Chains A and B, each alone.
Chain A
Amino acid sequence: MSAETVLTALLPEVLLLAGLLLLIGLEIAVPRHRGAFAVSLLAVAAAAAAAAWLSAGGSSAAPFPGHYSVGPDTFAAKAVVLALAVPVLLLARGEFPGGPFYPLLVSSLLGVCLVVSADSFLTLFLGVELMSIPVYVLVVLAFQREESAEAALKYLVLSGTASATFLLGVSLLYGGSGSLALSAFSTALGSRDVLATAGVVLVLSAFFLKAAVVPFHTWAPDAYEAASVPVTAYMAAVVKAGVLFAVLRLFALAPAERPLVDLLALLPLASMVWGNLAAMRQDGLRRLIAYSSIAHAGYLFYAFLGDGPGRFQAVTFYLLAYGLMNVLVLAALPPAGDDVARDRLERLKGLFQRQPYAAWMIAVAMLSLAGIPPFPGFVAKFLVFKNVVAAGYPVYAVLGLVGSYLGLYFYLRVIQYLFMAPPPPAEEASAAEGEGAPSRLALAATVLCLLPAILIALFPGWVIDRLGG
């Protein structure tokens, strides 16, 4: 295989790696962090464009057979993830003028790209680690509160536990099959062997933890709240996407078999119900997003009940719609002097009178996350539940729909705050005074989220076809 083929197949990764090395060089050579934002934005946007172009061209290759392979669908997945990172970078400009934020973010994206293309447990593990290690640090980077350090440590320890669980599961699968290929997982799905099943369950629970599915979700609200706004957006949109793509890679086209189906349905179901119920009680926006993301992890894992071919489309479409809307909420959130004050839900009261554009953006995102028909979130949920019904699990589909209706309450409560509640009383006014108009880059980020959202709301079929599968 010629070097050109290898480089073409690895183009998004090569661009990201070049950006990463350039960023580290810049940090050393250039004083006052000049250019870090521009370089990282350029690298991520170029990688996204390259992935989209290669996906449209339908190229596929296996530059490292058995470890790494690419096809149109993996390029589409990479394009989605990298495109989601662009508005996150725009948001970060105000909070992080330079410094370690940009190299860490770019390296985490590199990890996501590796996960998407992984063919062996080894590459998958390394990719997941490369994706998560920078995020532990990103959470604590905008260190403003004591709780941030605690939350980051919690995230680090629990995520480390997930990695150890994953490795234990992989060692059982390796012991059974003698191969590190990811196909060992899909083969073990249908196996009656106790060790193979144990391996599958361990690997699955590791990813449940990384995606914050209910019994393993406790790190998420703390970590989302502790992180600064762009990092929360990154975790909710991109890291979650990376974890789900890893699971997609593991399952490949294999159907979920009987004893495992119940695990794959019940924990996500618990996740939807608990995430939606707990979100009702939150008074901070980032904790609300965290619980909402726990519920959405439930819907996403529901997609694995469906048949193999439809699964990739359903999950990728869902991640796109959900990621765009999450970033949109956090991008439209008006800035404030104090990080804690910015986060408070109370501050959104009467926002429509003060900043109609921001209020409309948050409202659109909330309605979409709730899955109300004209918005993209509806199509995404529809695809997932349609596949679940088609695979012959109508009971689980109905239970899931009931669980998702619980979420309406808190999404609509935010909208009520925005449009119908009176502006905050005098004591709150001091907090509202620090509220400035969103920066131009934040506005650009909202537009970058809104335009694709309109596109996928108007032409869902066209987008689904582009996502391959």
Chain B
Amino acid sequence: MTPVVLFYLFAGILVFAGLMVVTVRNPVHAALFLVLAFFTSAAVWMLLEAEFLSLALVLVYVGAVMVLFLFVVMMLDVQGAPLRQGFIRYLPVGALVAGVAALELYLVVGSDRLFGSQAFPLPQRAGAAYSNTQEIGAVLYTKYVYPFEIAAVILLVAIVAAIALSLRRRGDARSQRPGDQVRVRREDRVRLVAMPAEKGE
């Protein structure tokens, strides 16, 4: 099969999966279709000779991020039904907007002058000895080292932000302090009261 046929096959599956993500009722199914979409785009990237990025997409997004995503969806137990309220009511406006957007896209992309194959000629094919990974590594830690470090700081801040949002200490929460529990003495807990004995009847 030629790459062109493969491309159209993958692109078709990708568009189908993308459509299903936003239309299926069940959020778990939507997440699974998102996995399919990521996987298919990884295949498209492979066709573009971006092997390393393609595998990283599969490993990181499909392998790690989406599993996390599925956990969250299952934990939150999102009900699909309320989300669909007003679907029919908003359909005409939505369809109008989508139609206008599609027309505009056609007007821009449809003309060969801007996005046609003349405007973007095919890049030179790299030989078999060319290592994608090596090239990325060579620029990532030399030319792009500072943006790389900043991205690390952003991830750190994202963790702080997520904790700030989810960790709310309630004023009325009660917790045990094991240190105090161990350190407690008899006098703190028991008070001996001297009482005169009473006579029974």
Contacts and interface: CB of A to CB of B under 8 A. Distances in A.
Interface stretch (B35-43, B48-56, B157-165): B157-165
Interface majority SS (helix, strand, loop, mixed), chain A: helix
Interface residues of A, number: 31
B154 interface: yes
Given A24-B160, A140-B165, A195-B114, A110 B153 contact: yes
Contact of A107 (B144, B145, B151, B160): B160
Contacts of A120: 147
A67 B144 contact: yes
A133 B165 CA distance: 12
Given A103-B160, A104-B157, A107-B153, A123 B165 contact: no
B161 A137 contact: yes
Contact of B160 (A68, A100, A127): A100
Contacts of B153: 17, 20, 107, 110, 130
B144 to A, nearest CB: 7
Contacts of B141: none
A147 interface: no
Interface in A49-97: 63-64, 66-68
Contact of B150 (A63, A66, A130): A130
A17 B153 CA distance: 9
Contact of B147 (A20, A110, A122): A122
Interface in B114-166: 114, 143-147, 150-151, 153-154, 156-158, 160-161, 163-165
B147 A123 contact: yes
B111 to A, nearest CB: 10
Given A126-B151, A129-B154, A137 B165 contact: yes
Contacts of A104: 157, 160-161, 164
Interface in A198-234: none
B157 A141 contact: no
A129 B156 CA distance: 13
B164 A122 contact: no
Nearest to B158: A133
A194 interface: yes
A174 B165 CA distance: 36
A114 B154 CA distance: 12
A182 B168 CA distance: 41
Given A67-B147, A123-B146, A195-B114, A130 B161 contact: no
Contacts of A103: 157, 160
B157 A68 contact: no
Interface in A117-135: 120, 122-123, 126-127, 129-130, 133-134
Nearest to A198: B108
A280 to B, nearest CB: 32
Contacts of B164: 99-100, 104, 137, 141
A64 B160 contact: no
B147 A133 contact: no
Given A100-B164, A127-B150, 12 more contacts: A20-B153, A63-B146, A64-B145, A103-B157, A103-B160, A107-B157, A110-B153, A123-B146, A126-B150, A133-B157, A134-B160, A195-B114
20 contacts: A64-B146, A67-B146, A67-B147, A100-B163, A104-B160, A104-B161, A107-B156, A107-B160, A110-B153, A123-B147, A123-B150, A126-B151, A126-B154, A130-B150, A133-B154, A133-B157, A136-B161, A137-B164, A194-B114, A195-B114
